[in-house]
Amino acid sequence: MNKILLIIQREYFSRVKKKSFIWMTILVPTLFIGMYALAGYLIAKGDEMGEIQNVLVIDENGSFKASLKNTPVIKFSYSDKSYTEERKAYFESENYDYILRIPSSLKEVQILGEKKPSAMLAGTIEGQINELLKNKKLRDAGIDPKILADAEKGIDIEAKQITANGDKDAGTSAASILGLVTALLVYMSLFIYGTQVMRGVIEEKTSRIIEVVISSVKPFQLMLGKIIGVGLVGLTQFALWIVISAVLTGGITTMMAGDKMKEIAKTEQVSAAKAYNTNPEVAAMQEEAPEDTLSKISKQFESVSIPLIVFSFLFYFLFGYFLYSAVFAAVGSAVDNETETQQFMLPITLPLVFTLILSMSYIINSPDSPLAVWLSIIPFTSPIAMMIRIPFGVPAWQLILSMVLMVGGFLFTTWVAARIYRVGILMYGKKASYKELAKWFFYKE
């Protein structure tokens, strides 16, 4: 036992001290959060930074006078002069960038300018004109604008779960997000740390230190020590990622918490809502909508049991990792270098990739279908499938069965892997085939 601890220590510290570990630990959250911050900043700031386009409206039809709404980047002005006159004046005047010509027939509405108008500009104007036309036609037909506004209102279905303690919010957006994120994390970490175990085994084999080490400890102790050591490296990296992300997010939020940013964010929401709804009443009603959705999602998050998710994440990460890394270790022991591992990688990665693809398309939409249930119970696929399902609520018996099978699967796989490993690490220059591996499995001590 003492010796396993020593091995764990070496495996752990030799990795944690590596420059690549330190860089990965710092860079991953920095890049991710940096990217999000930058994207958020650009979106918030984008309109402001964009040049304001002045559009001169020549309304030959006459029904659009002063009814096109300015946006942060588009300013409308109106002219009573004829198109030909304005066209002549266009190059002399610096006051506007485009001319919007609305002919009386409303056919062939044109936007003209020195530069090509952006799709956004054209789209916004198009939307506004269509909206105005639609409203006008409906009003002309004698429909009350209030009814119009009412008709615009979208209906959201609120999902509620009936429990003994009253109805619980059961919206699925938060569950989907949580499920996907945690499943993806498990998927990635199985690969990242599993291959680290495999590389470690190959390194020991190719550097030939293996024989020295296993003249002091049992091959199984070495394998287990390596697996646990690398697993702890994984947990450390996760913990550091979370801490660094929290610190960075905190820092960025304070940085952006200046009044100015808040203001921008607010006007941004409002104007975005307004841009497509020229009818003031409709716009006013929709202004509240984004806040509503946000609070709904955050309420959903509250209804999901975070401790359960954290616990299952740790459980499925650890045992999934143990199970797969044992297989990775066996593969590492069977080959002389990393390129030879390819023939064995496909069957290992197949269940994982298969489950992930199914997770994103199928399980997430029908988390209680028989296929989803089975995938979340079978040990090789359950770490991913179950993480997807948990936020939606999983019957206790399924969770327990899945976890028991997971532990059982881990023990069985480790046993099989260890039998291959102990022979493989001493085999050199022998091209390992599946038949060969099976033979090794049946070797006596």
Partner 1 sequence: MSIKSIWYFHGMLSIRHIVKQYAGQRALDDVSIEIEKGQIFGLLGPNGAGKTSLIRIINQITGPDSGEIFFNGEKLNQSHIERIGYLPEERGLYKKMEIGEQIIYLARLKGMSKEQALKKAREWFIKLGIESWWNKKIEELSKGMAQKAQFVSTVMHDPELIILDEPFSGFDPVNVEVIKNEILELNQKGATIIFSTHRMESVEELCDSIALIHKSKKILDGRVRDIKKVYRNNTFLLEYEGGKISVDTMAPFEVVKETDHGDGHNMKLKLKDNVTANDAIHYITSRTQITGFRELIPSMNEIFIEQVNKIS
Binding site for partner 1 (CB under 8 A): 3, 6-7, 10, 14, 203-204, 207-217, 426, 428, 439, 443-445
C-alpha dist (Å) from residue 92 to 88, 89, 268 = 8, 5, 34
Token pair recorded at residue 287: 């202004």
In the bound complex, what is the minimum distance in angstroms from residue 7's beta carbon to partner 1? 8
Angle at the Cα of 324 from the Cα atoms of 320 and 328, rounded to 5 degrees: 160
Residue 62, phi then psi, degrees to nearest 5: 95, -5
Least spacing, CB of residue 238 vs partner 1, in Å = 24
Residues ≥6 apart with Cβ < 8 Å to 84: none
Angle at 291 between CA 301 and CA 51, to 5 degrees: 125
Residue 341 · residue 335 · CB < 8 Å: yes
Does residue 108 sit in helix, strand or coil?
coil
From the CB of 337, what's the least distance to partner 1, in Å?
14
Q: Residue 300 and residue 292: Cα distance in Å, rounded?
A: 12
In this complex, which beta carbon is closest to partner 1, that of residue 3 or of residue 296?
3
Residue with tokens 């006078």: 65
Tell the smallest beta-carbon distance from residue 442 to partner 1 (Å).
10
232 vs 256 by CB, closer to partner 1: 232
Task: Tell me whether residue 71 or residue 196 sits nearer to partner 1 (CB atom).
Answer: 196
- How far apart, in whole angstroms, are the C-alpha atoms of residue 408 and residue 355? 20
- 255, 196, 247, 252: which is closest to 226 by C-alpha? 196
* DSSP label of 257: T
Q: Which is nearer to partner 1, 30 or 216 (CB)?
A: 216
Between the two ends of the chain, the Cα-to-Cα distance in Å is 20
- Shorter beta-carbon distance to partner 1: residue 115 or 444: 444
β-strands 166-169, 160-163 pairing: antiparallel
Taking the least distance from each CB to partner 1, the nearer of 99 and 222 is 222
| Nearest approach, Cβ of residue 202 and partner 1 (Å) | 12
Nearer to partner 1 by C-beta: 206 or 267?
Answer: 206
Least distance CB 436 / partner 1 (angstroms)? 9
* Residue closest to 71 by CA, chosen among 87, 88, 51, 91: 51
Closest to 301 measured CA to CA, from 174, 170, 392: 174
Taking the least distance from each CB to partner 1, the nearer of 233 and 390 is: 233
Task: Render 328-351 in DSSP notation, one character per residue.
Answer: HHHHHHH-SSGGGGHHHHHHHHHH
CB of 14 to partner 1, least distance (A): 6
For partner 1, the closer CB: 203 or 302: 203
User: Are 112 and 101 within 8 A, CB to CB?
Assistant: yes
Nearest approach, Cβ of residue 364 and partner 1 (Å): 42
Token digits of residue 444: 């006596």
Shortest reach from residue 445's CB to partner 1, in Å:
4
Comparing CB distances to partner 1, the nearer of 69 and 226 is: 226
Pairing of strands 98-102, 53-59: parallel
Minimum distance of partner 1 from residue 312's CB (angstroms): 36
Task: Say how far apart CA 407 and CA 365 lie, in whole Å.
Answer: 28
Distance in angstroms (rounded) separating the CA atoms of residues 100 and 50: 20
Of 146 and 444, the one with the shorter C-beta distance to partner 1 is: 444
In one-letter notation, the amino acid at residue 265 is A
From the CB of 322, what's the least distance to partner 1, in Å?
A: 23
